[in-house]
């Protein structure tokens, strides 16, 4: 059995002082660094948007951050501008170990957001991660990172649905937590068969 750690979006914009900060997002860096040596493979994801991305409220006239809109692929929360390709906000937290095996970027298509590390928000367009993991014989996944209620949540649920054995280290995650999104996410993860540890 090959067991991988997937470190989700531990980037400056999701840490205190960033454009879309989680409370205490920087507190998980040291525990995640310490965990890395326990796994056969370490994969880091990076939210990576072009300027003017369609998930940004600034791209929609009259809309504000955290409004919900209908996109051709379904409902979409609008965010403050964040994780713009090549900016400091998109960089990993400076103390995060980045000596992992793979850095997977997502959200790089202007017209569609991607919370999950496996599928974009149409739940159809693949990021290629499933094939990568399968080709390496990885069957077991542990996830940690930011944000619990969005990218960790969707990644964990997709992974479980794809048949991986998934644990989320909830102690090494932090949430955006808007309108009960954290409770919803925990419920959805448990319902999909994800272990919350
Ligand atoms: C995320 C909202 C927008 C995340 C990324 O990493 O959870 N959330 N983009
Ligand atoms: Zn994003």
Condensed to tens digits (0 to 9), the pLDDT of residues 60-73 reads 999 999 999 999 99
What is the CA(2)–ligand 1 centre distance, in A? 27
Which of ligand 1's atoms lies nearest the C-alpha of 47? 5
Which of ligand 1's atoms lies nearest the C-alpha of 79? 3
Q: Whose CA is nearest to atom 4 of ligand 1?
A: 151
Determine how many CB atoms are found less than 10 A away from the CB of residue 86.
Answer: 10
Name the pTM for this structure. 0.98
Residue 106, C-beta contacts closer than 8 angstroms, at least 6 positions apart: 45, 46, 47, 48, 114, 116, 117, 120, 127
pLDDT(1) > 90: no
Is the distance from CB of 167 to CB of 197 less than 8 angstroms? yes
pLDDT(54) > 90: yes
What is the CA(94)–ligand 2 centre distance, in A? 19
First-to-last alpha carbon distance for the chain, in angstroms, is: 20
* Residue-averaged pLDDT of the chain: 98
């Amino acid at each position: 059995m090959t067991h991988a750690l997937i470190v989700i979006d531990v980037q400056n914009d999701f840490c205190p002082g960033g454009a879309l900060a989680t409370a205490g997002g920087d507190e998980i860096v040291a525990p995640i660094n310490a965990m890395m040596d326990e796994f056969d493979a370490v994969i880091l994801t990076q939210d990576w948007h072009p300027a003017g991305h369609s998930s940004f409220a600034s791209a929609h006239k009259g809309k504000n951050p955290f409004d919900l809109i209908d996109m051709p692929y379904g409902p979409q929360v609008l965010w403050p501008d964040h994780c713009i390709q090549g900016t400091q906000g998109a960089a990993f937290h400076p103390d995060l170990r980045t000596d992992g095996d793979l850095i997977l970027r997502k959200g790089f298509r202007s017209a569609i957001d991607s919370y999950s590390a496996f599928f974009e928000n149409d739940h159809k367009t693949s990021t290629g991660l499933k094939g990568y993991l399968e080709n390496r014989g990885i069957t077991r996944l542990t996830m940690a990172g930011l944000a619990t209620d969005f990218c960790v949540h969707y990644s964990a649920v997709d992974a479980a649905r794809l048949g991986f054995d998934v644990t989320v280290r909830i102690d090494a995650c932090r949430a955006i937590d808007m309108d009960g999104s954290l409770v919803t996410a925990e419920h959805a993860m448990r319902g999909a068969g994800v272990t919350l540890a």
